[in-house]
Amino acid sequence: MTGQEFPGKLPNAFMTAGTSSFSEFLMQVAPELLPGRRPLPPGDFAAVSAHATTIVALRTADGVVMAGDRRATMGNYISSRDIEKVFPADGYSLVGIAGTAGLGIELVKLYQLELEHYEKIEGAPLTLNGKANRLATMLRGNLGIALQGLAVVPLFAGFDVDAASLDEAGKIYSFDVVGGIYAERDFDSIGSGSMFAKSSLKKRYRRDIGTEEAVKIAVESLYDAADDDSATGGPDPTRDLYPVVMTATAEGSKRIDEAVVADVARSVIAARTENPYG
Amino acid sequence: MAMQFYTSPEQIMRDRAEFARKNISRGRNVVVLSCADGVLLVAENVSSALHKVYELYDRIGFAAVGKYNEFENLRTAGVRMADLRGYSYDRRDVNAASLAKAYAQTLGAIFSEQTKPFEVEICVAGVGAGPQEDELYRLTFDGSINDEPGYLAMGGDADQLKEILAEGHDFEAPLADAFALALRALSSSGGNGTPRELTKEVLEVAVLERARPGRAFRRIEGLALEALLASPAAEAQAEAAAEETTEAADTDES
């Protein structure tokens, strides 16, 4: 007897044991809700959606810091000045996105739910490596449309509660469109301004810096990215818009207060007014 | 060809109901009650790994008695249903009532369709903005759904427990008082009339915290549970239990 024979009962997919993954469940009951599974006609569709740009992440003595600018672009048009591209993935990890904004935000929403769903079903969260691998798996489903110009690339960072010592607890993983996953040693950046952000970090980053210092150099690296990349937005004091900065430490993942980031950004602007080359 | 004997539908349903009721009544009890700080879920459970009390969604909890594999099945279905709904609409569109209704349909279908009904009794609890807005639904093996605002008890001695809860329940009581009441109710059963002493090893406690934004479900375990057991209200309750036990022992001796 199957559930479908009797009206009112939940379909069998709901009652089947085996998977703790929400996206696998979604594949069975509502595949149309999965990002990236829509068939597209041949062609390049890069111009149809807004593009999210630069994200940086760096390891600190306490965990990790991730920051993202607030701009989204469509070609030479600025489609958003206040988009948020850095999110808490769960209690101890962060995810930022670059590329096709709409798909990226959808991917993050599904990913957050994926982690929460696993935690609820299993009664315990995934390990940090498990979370990163899961993100890579979800990304693989997007390859088809990524090759047609709708690529999404995330950056994942978190605090590994199972790490042997505090020094090893902060971890950063970068990805590519095919779902490749790469553990980063000190810092990484994604998006159109990443080249400039990385160059900035390369000169300023030191191992074992504290969170406060890391927030400063993250904001400064985004300033440098905005300086040279038209698709990255700099701090915007006229509209009171500053980068989104989050941390994942032993205390969990949290957003750095906007007022604090605003102060940091203003001090960066003040320093650059004196010396434009930092 | 084998002979088919006629059995009346009444007889079939009665047999099934009796079968389910008998097996559920063997289980230990679970108490769910709403108080000022949220919805408190307390189960007597000897296992620390196999839970009876779970999180379904942001403001919604789940408690069950009966056969583990069957309520686990229902719980998983509930989490999937809630997550699917929250994903396709919005997190605020997931509510306890719709989950309880889906459970009722499913349990009802299983009861009438399959030879063996589920030997479970479950509770879907939703925490609201105030204690009066909390939702507590109790669902039985045949798909009956009972809206029981304030408090409910499930398991073998549910009726007895409910009497104690009815006496002492107060919507405005703080968490510690509500816990003491739950403890008094749970310890009243199974001791042949005298209250038993329940230690933290056999208690599974969780709360849907009213004031907590987002996911309100929190397990109270380890030190937090010890602290709650050591709170004045619970202490008084344990002492009363101990006194009655000694009194009972004295009478036995004399």
Query: Residue B220 in contact with residue B176, Cβ under 8 Å?
Result: no
Q: Which of A2, A53, A100, A247 is catalytic?
A: A53
Which is more confidently placed, B198 or A174? A174
Write the pLDDT tens digit of every residue in A201-237: 999 999 989 999 999 999 999 999 999 999 999 999 9
Write the pLDDT tens digit of every residue in B122-139: 999 999 999 999 999 999
* Global pTM value: 0.91
How many Cβ pairs within 8 Å bridge chains A and B? 64
Query: Residue A86 in contact with residue A55, Cβ under 8 Å?
Result: yes
| Least confident piece of the model among B46-55, B202-211, B233-242 | B233-242
Question: Do the Cβ atoms of A10 and B56 come within 8 Å?
Answer: no
In a domain, residue A11? The reply is no
Contacts of B116 in chain A (CB under 8 A): none
Q: Which of B55, B73, B88 sits opposite A15 (nearest CB)?
A: B73
Q: How many domains does chain A have?
A: 1
Per-residue pLDDT, A3: 44
Question: Do the Cβ atoms of B87 and A110 come within 8 Å?
Answer: yes
Query: Residue B22 in contact with residue B44, Cβ under 8 Å?
Result: no
Across the range A256-271, mean pLDDT stands at 96
Q: How far from chain centre, in Å, is Cα B157? A: 12
Distance from CA of B106 to the nearest CA of A (A): 4
Distance from CA of A41 to the nearest CA of B (A): 25
Domain interval for residue A152: 49-274
Q: Which residue of A has its CA nearest to B107?
A: A9
In a domain, residue A98? The reply is yes
Across A215-232, b (16+ Cβ under 10 Å) vs e yields: bbbbbbbbbbbbbebebb
Question: What CATH number should be reported for the domain holding residue B212?
Answer: 3.60.20.10
Report residue A2's pLDDT band, with 50, 70 and 90 as the boundaries: very low
Distance from CA of B25 to the nearest CA of A (A): 25
The tokens for B8 are 């009346």
In a domain, residue B59? The reply is yes
Residues 6 or more apart whose CB falls under 8 angstroms from that of B138 comprise: B121, B122, B123, B145, B146, B148, B152, B154
Q: Which residue of A has its CA nearest to B77?
A: A14
Q: Which residue of A has its CA nearest to B106?
A: A9
Write the pLDDT tens digit of every residue in A96-107: 999 999 999 999
In a domain, residue B1? The reply is no
In a domain, residue B187? The reply is no
Per-residue pLDDT, B247: 58
Q: Which of B56, B81, B215 sits opposite A10 (nearest CB)?
A: B81
Write the pLDDT tens digit of every residue in A114-145: 999 999 999 999 999 999 999 999 998 888 88
Question: Do the Cβ atoms of B80 and A6 come within 8 Å?
Answer: no
Q: What is the mean pLDDT of chain A?
A: 92
Per-residue pLDDT, A70: 96
Tell me which DSSP letter residue B184 carries: H
Per-residue pLDDT, B254: 40
In a domain, residue B57? The reply is yes
Q: Where are the beta strands (DSSP E) in B103-147?
A: 120-126, 135-139, 145-147
Question: What CATH number should be reported for the domain holding residue A265?
Answer: 3.60.20.10
The answer to whether residue A73 is catalytic is no
Distance from CA of A20 to the nearest CA of B (A): 9
Question: Do the Cβ atoms of A17 and B76 come within 8 Å?
Answer: yes
Q: How many domains does chain B have?
A: 1
Write the pLDDT tens digit of every residue in B101-110: 999 999 999 9
Per-residue pLDDT, A248: 97
In a domain, residue B100? The reply is yes
**Has residue B167 got a pLDDT over 90?**
yes
Domain interval for residue B163: 20-173+201-221
In a domain, residue B53? The reply is yes
Write the pLDDT tens digit of every residue in A5-36: 567 788 888 988 878 999 999 989 998 888 87
In a domain, residue B33? The reply is yes
